[in-house]
Structure 1
Amino acid sequence: MSNPPRQPIPPKPFSAPPRGLWRATPPAIFPPLLGLFGIGLAWRQATVVLGAPAFIGDMFLGAVSLLYLFAVFAYLAKVVRRLATLPEDLRILPGRAGLPAASAAGMLFAAVLVPYATMAAQSVLVLALCAHALIALLIIRALLIGPVEQRRVTPAWHLSFVGFIIAPLAAVPLGWVELSQVIFVTTLPVAVAVWIISAFQFSRADVPVPLRPLLAIHLAPVCLFGIVSALLGYGALSIAFGGLGIIVMAVMLMAVRYLTAGDFSALWGAFTFPMAAFANLMFAAAFYKVTPFAVLGGIELALATLAVCVIAFRVMKLWANGKLAKSTNASTV
C-alpha cells in the first residue's frame, strides 16, 4: 500500500519580536542598585573606621558601577525608541520610585569616582542632579494630571523631592560646600513635611500589604542628613541624627514581620538603600569619637551586605526572565 501524499505545512503566522531587556526595561531595577552603591561606599568607610581591607569596597563598587551603567544604557535604549515611555513609567508607583532612584544612584556613582577622577566625578554629579530635577518635575506633572488618589503622599516622595541630599556625598569632597549647604537647608523641611504627613495618614488608615516595604524609605533621609551633617562639620547634629537613626532602625526591626507580610516583589528593593545608609551613618558619626556607633555600623554592614545582595539578585533575576516588567507594569516599546 502506498503512503498518502504529504500535505503542505502551512506557514506560521507572523508574530512580533519578544519584549526583551531593551524594549521593556523597568525602573524597578534601580532601587536595588542604589542600595548596592550604598553598601560599597559603606565598605569604603569601614576601611577608615574599622580597618577593613580596602579591596572589598573597591571590588564591590567596581562591579556595581558596571551593572549600573548597563542598567542606565538599557533604560535609555527604551526611552530613545519612544520618548513617551518616560512619562508613562512615572504614572505608576514603581516608576515614581524607580526613576528617582536611578538619578540618585548617579550621585553615588559620582561619589565612587571622586578618589579616581575628579573631572569625571564632577560631570557625573552635574548630570545626575539635572536628571533628578527633571524627574522631579515630571513626577509633579504626572501627579497634577493624574487621578486625585495618586496624589497621596508616599515614602517614595523622599526619593523624588528629598533625594537631592545624596549629592553632598560627592559634592563636599569635590569642594562644592556651599552647594551642599543649600541642598541641606532646602531638603530638610521637605523631609520633615513628608514624615509628618505620612504619620498622619498612617494614623488614619493602614498601609496595604504589598506597599509596606516602601515604609523603610523613611529611614534613608534620617541617615543622609546625619551623614551630610558630618561632612559639613556639624558634629552635634550628626550625632543627633545618629541617635535618631538607631531609634528608627529599632522600630523597623521590631516591625519586620509587618513590613514583610507580603510575598517578595520588586518593591522589596526599597529595603536596600536604607540598610546601607544606616551603616554609612554609623561610620560618619563614629568620626566624632563615638565608638559604639562604629561597632554597630560594622555589625549592621555585615548583615546588610548579605540582605541587600540577596534582594538585588532576586530583582535582577526577575528582570532577566521578563517577569519584572510585567509585575510592575513598566512601559514597553
Structure 2
Amino acid sequence: MTDTPPDTAQEFSRLAHFPVTFFAVLMGLFGLALALHAAAESFAMAALAARAVLWLGLGCFVAVAAIYLLKLVRHPAAVSAEWHHPVRLAFFPTITISLLLMATAIHGYRPDLAAPLWLLGAAGQGILTIAVISGWISHRAFEVGHLTPAWFIPAVGNVIVPLAGAPLGWVEISWLFFAAGMIFWLILLVLVFNRLIFHAPIPARLFPTLVILIAPPAVAFVSYVRLVGGVDPFAHILLSAAYVFTILVMVQVPKLLRLPFALSWWALSFPLAALSVASFVYGRAQSSDAHLVIGLLVLVTLSVVVGGLLWRTGLAVMRDEICRPE
C-alpha cells in the first residue's frame, strides 16, 4: 500500500509528463495576435480581434507557465529529462520566444510594460541559445534522426528579438541577436536539408515541424525592415525565400492532413503568422495590393488553423491524450 491516493498519484504523473512543447501553443496565439494587429492597419475590423487574441494568449501564458513551474518544483527530474532529450531540448526556447512575442504584441498598447518583458525575454533567449547550442556541440549521442526543423527554434528564435527591440531603442543588441539568428539559420538549413534528402523520413509525429521552414526568413524580413527602416534588396531576398519555403510546404499538405493530431501540429501556427505579418509589412512599404491580399489570405488560413488547433488540443486534454509518457 502506498501513502499517495491513486487519483493524486495519477495527477502527479500527468504533471510530470506536462510537455515543454506546450509553449509552442503560446507562440501560435501571440503570432496570431501580431498578424491581426498588422492587418488592422489595412483592415480596421481586425483591431478588436487582435486585442481579444492577445488577452487569450496572456491568459494561456500564465496558465502554462504556472503548470510548468509547478512541474519544475515537484518533478525536477522530469524537466531534466526533457532538457537532455535530443528533440525536446530544442523546444525550451519557446518559453523565451513567447515572452518576446508577448512584448512585441503589447508594445502597440503599453510600451512601458513591453520593455521589461522584452528585456527578460531577450536575456533568457541569449542564455538558452548558448546553452542549447553548447549542448549540441558537446554531446556525442545525437543521431541524424534526431534532427528536425524544430532545431531552428533555439538559434533562429534570435531574429525575433528586433521585432520589439528596435522600436524600444535597443538597436545594437537587436543587431547582435539578428546576426546570430541568421548565421545559425544558414547552418541549420544545410543540416536539415541533408537530413531530409539523404536519411530516413521525419517521423509522422514530428512531420508538422516541416512548416517551421517558413518562419526564419519571414521573421527575419520583418526584423530587418525594422532595423534598417525600409525594404532593400536583401529584404526582398528574405521575403522571397519565405514564399519559396511556403510553396514547398504547400506541396506537403496532403500528407499533413493524413497525420494524427499531436502538439507538434502547433508548428503550423507561428510560421503562418510570420508570413502574414511579413506580407502586410511589404505590402504597405511598397504599396503592393497583391501582397496585402496574400497577407489577408494567410491570416484567414491562420485563423482557421489556430481555431482548429485550440479545439483539437482541448479535446486531447479532456481525453487525457497529451500528458502521457512517450
Report the TM-score range of the alignment, normalised by the length of the smaller protein: 0.7 to 0.9
Q: In the TM superposition, what is the alpha-carbon distance from 1:200 to its structure 2 partner?
A: 1.8
TM-score normalised to structure 1 length: 0.86
* Residue 215 of structure 2 corresponds to residue 225 of structure 1: no
Q: Distance in 2 between matches of 1:59 and 1:269?
A: 20
What residue number does 1:284 align with? Answer: 281
Q: Which amino acid aligns with 1:166?
A: I
* Residue 184 of structure 2 corresponds to residue 190 of structure 1: yes
Q: In the TM superposition, what is the alpha-carbon distance from 1:66 to its structure 2 partner?
A: 1.1
Change (3 A) 1:315 1:283: same
What residue number does 2:311 align with? Answer: 313
Q: Which amino acid aligns with 1:176?
A: W
Q: Distance in 2 between matches of 1:41 and 1:82?
A: 34
Aligned positions, number: 318
Matched residue of 1:167: which SS? helix
What residue number does 2:159 align with? Answer: 165
1:129-182 residue CA offsets vs partner (Å, 9 max, x unmatched) = 232233334434554446232785321121111101111111122121222222
The within-5 A match list for 1:1-333 is: 15-16=5-6, 17=8, 18-19=10-11, 22-92=15-85, 95-140=88-133, 142-143=135-136, 144-145=138-139, 147-149=141-143, 152-205=146-199, 206-232=201-227, 233-236=229-232, 237-288=234-285, 289-319=287-317, 321-326=319-324, 329=326
What residue number does 1:4 align with? Answer: none
Unaligned runs of 5+ in 2: none
1:303-331 residue CA offsets vs partner (Å, 9 max, x unmatched) = 1111122113323443455421215x4xx
Q: In the TM superposition, what is the alpha-carbon distance from 1:245 to its structure 2 partner?
A: 1.7
Higher Cα Rg, which structure: 1
Q: Which amino acid aligns with 1:79?
A: L
Q: Distance in 1 between matches of 2:318 and 2:168?
A: 36
Q: In the TM superposition, what is the alpha-carbon distance from 1:34 to its structure 2 partner?
A: 0.4
Contact 1:28 1:97 in 2 (8 A): no
Q: Distance in 2 between matches of 1:286 and 1:200?
A: 34
TM-score normalised to structure 2 length: 0.88
Q: Distance in 1 between matches of 2:142 and 2:46?
A: 51
Q: In the TM superposition, what is the alpha-carbon distance from 1:31 to its structure 2 partner?
A: 1.1
Structure with the largest fraction of helix: 2
Q: Distance in 2 between matches of 1:23 and 1:153?
A: 25
Change (3 A) 1:100 1:151: farther
Change (3 A) 1:245 1:117: same
Q: In the TM superposition, what is the alpha-carbon distance from 1:47 to its structure 2 partner?
A: 0.7
Higher relative contact order (CA 8 A, sep 6+): 1
Q: Distance in 2 between matches of 1:320 and 1:176?
A: 43
Change (3 A) 1:146 1:60: same
Q: In the TM superposition, what is the alpha-carbon distance from 1:97 to its structure 2 partner?
A: 4.1
Q: Distance in 2 between matches of 1:141 and 1:243?
A: 32
Q: Distance in 2 between matches of 1:192 and 1:95?
A: 21
Q: Distance in 1 between matches of 2:75 and 2:212?
A: 31
Q: In the TM superposition, what is the alpha-carbon distance from 1:98 to its structure 2 partner?
A: 3.2
1:253-302 residue CA offsets vs partner (Å, 9 max, x unmatched) = 12212344432212111111111111111011112222211111001101
Contact 1:269 1:315 in 2 (8 A): no
Contact 1:213 1:260 in 2 (8 A): no
Q: In the TM superposition, what is the alpha-carbon distance from 1:45 to its structure 2 partner?
A: 0.7
Contact 2:17 2:78 in 1 (8 A): no
Change (3 A) 1:120 1:295: same
Identity over aligned pairs, percent: 22
Change (3 A) 1:177 1:316: farther
Q: In the TM superposition, what is the alpha-carbon distance from 1:106 to its structure 2 partner?
A: 0.9
The runs of 4+ residues in structure 1 deviating greater than 6 Å are none
Change (3 A) 1:140 1:26: same
